[in-house]
Each structure stands twice: as structure tokens, then as C-alpha cells.
């Protein structure tokens, strides 16, 4: 990881956190579709990062978002779960010929079809974990699944739009 991508990663951390805490916290479609855009930040983190640093990053990110949501631990637990699963899921999903060096697994670099099958299940895992914890002790299982599925779709669409607008395609050699 060179210094430029390191600085970009730190800036991204704060940008995603701020957008989540100040804008997307108030965006809830139809009372059930939440936008947890910060999951995208962990999903498209550069490929060369190892799982342990990634889990630490997601712990920090989840913790800072929890402070603004007054839900200490909930976002943290579900985001660390995503970070843990990412490596194995990427191994399953390696395109033929492997990844290029230093690419980020974004929709621009990898194509829409690949990104859909890569990101959507992980987003769904995160949302199921989050809403399960949020509803712990109640018996609202149907609403949990409704919320998780609709939020996953919303988060995914928003994530793709953000990448189209703010990310650049890595140039081939």
C-alpha cells in the first residue's frame, strides 16, 4: 500500500463516517429501507489488506458510527463480521486469471455482474446481523427480514451510484 492510497483510505474513512452520521441517518425509505453506506467502504477496501487490519479498521468505523447512532456495539459487531468474511468470500469469487495487482474490488474495475454477486450477499449478512441485534428480545422476525432485505437493496444501489460518481477506473498497463 503506497502513501497515496493510505491517505485516500483515511480520508474515505472520515467521509463515509460523516455522510453516514449526518445525512444517511435521516434517510429511511418507506419506514424500512435504511442506507448503511459505510459497509461499501469495507467491501471496496484495497485487496492487498490482510484480514486482521481490516477487522481493526471496521471495528473503529463501526464504533464511531455507533456513537452517533447511540447503539454502542451494534454496528461494530456486524461490521467486524463482514470484514472477517470478506477474505474467504473474495477467494471464492476470484475471477478467472486472478485479480490484477493493486486493484480495488469496485464496480468500475470488476464489472457490475461480479460486484453484484460479491457485494450483495455480504451486505445482506451485515444487515441481518444488525437488525437481529437491534430486535434482540422481541419476536419481530418478519419485520427484521423485511428491513434487512429492503435495506440491502437500498445500500447496494446507493453504493453503486457513489462508486460511479466518486471513483475512477484503474488504468490498465
Partner 1 sequence: MQRILLFLYSLRVFLIFIGLEVLAIWLIFSYNSPQGAVFFNSSNYFAGSVLQARDGVTGYFTLGAANEALAEKNAELLSRLSVTMQPADSAYLEIDSVLASQYEFRSAKVINNSIRLNQNHITLNKGRKHGVREGMGVFNEQGVVGRVKGVTENFSSVISLLHTELLISSKVKSSSVFGSTKWDGKNTRKAKLLYVPRHVMLSEGDTVVTSGYNAVFPEGIMIGIVDEVTKGAETNYLDITIDLSTEFSRLTYVYLVENPLEEELDSLYQMSGVQNE
Joined together, the cell numbers standing for residue 147 give 428491513
Positions in 84-113 near partner 1 (CB under 8 A): 84, 87
Gyration radius from the chain CA atoms = 16
Question: Closest separation between CB of residue 148 and partner 1, Å?
Answer: 13
Report the residue from 24, 35, 37, 74 that binds partner 1 according to the rule CB under 8 A: 74
Residues 6+ apart with CB under 8 A from 165: none
CA dihedral 110, 129, 161, 26 (to 10 degrees): -170
Please say which residue, 74 or 152, places its beta carbon nearer to partner 1.
Answer: 74
Whether the CB-CB separation of 89 and 122 falls below 8 Å is answered with: yes
Does residue 162 belong to the site contacting partner 1 (CB under 8 A)? no
- Interface with partner 1 (CB under 8 A): 22, 25, 28, 31-32, 34, 51-52, 55-56, 59, 62-63, 66-74, 76-77, 80-81, 84, 87, 133-135, 137-138, 140, 143
Amino acid at each position: 500500500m503506497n502513501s497515496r492510497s493510505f491517505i485516500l483510505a483515511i480520508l474515505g474513512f472520515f467521509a463515509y463516517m460523516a455522510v453516514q452520521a449526518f445525512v444517511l441517518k435521516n434517510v429511511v425509505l418507506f419506514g424500512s429501507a435504511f442506507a448503511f453506506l459505510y459497509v461499501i467502504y469495507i467491501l471496496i477496501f484495497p485487496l492487498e489488506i490482510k484480514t486482521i487490519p481490516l477487522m481493526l479498521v471496521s471495528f473503529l468505523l463501526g464504533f464511531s458510527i455507533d456513537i452517533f447512532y447511540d447503539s454502542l456495539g451494534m454496528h461494530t459487531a456486524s461490521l467486524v463480521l463482514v470484514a472477517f468474511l470478506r477474505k474467504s468470500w473474495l477467494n471464492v469469487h476470484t475471477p478467472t486469471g486472478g485479480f490484477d495487482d493493486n486493484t480495488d474490488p469496485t464496480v468500475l474495475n470488476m464489472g457490475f455482474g461480479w460486484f453484484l454477486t460479491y457485494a450483495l450477499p455480504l451486505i445482506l449478512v451485515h444487515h441481518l446481523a444488525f437488525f437481529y441485534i437491534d430486535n434482540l428480545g422481541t419476536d419481530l422476525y418478519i419485520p427484521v427480514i423485511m428491513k434487512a432485505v429492503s435495506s440491502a437493496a437500498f445500500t447496494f444501489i446507493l453504493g453503486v451510484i457513489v462508486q460511479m460518481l466518486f471513483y475512477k477506473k484503474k488504468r490498465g498497463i
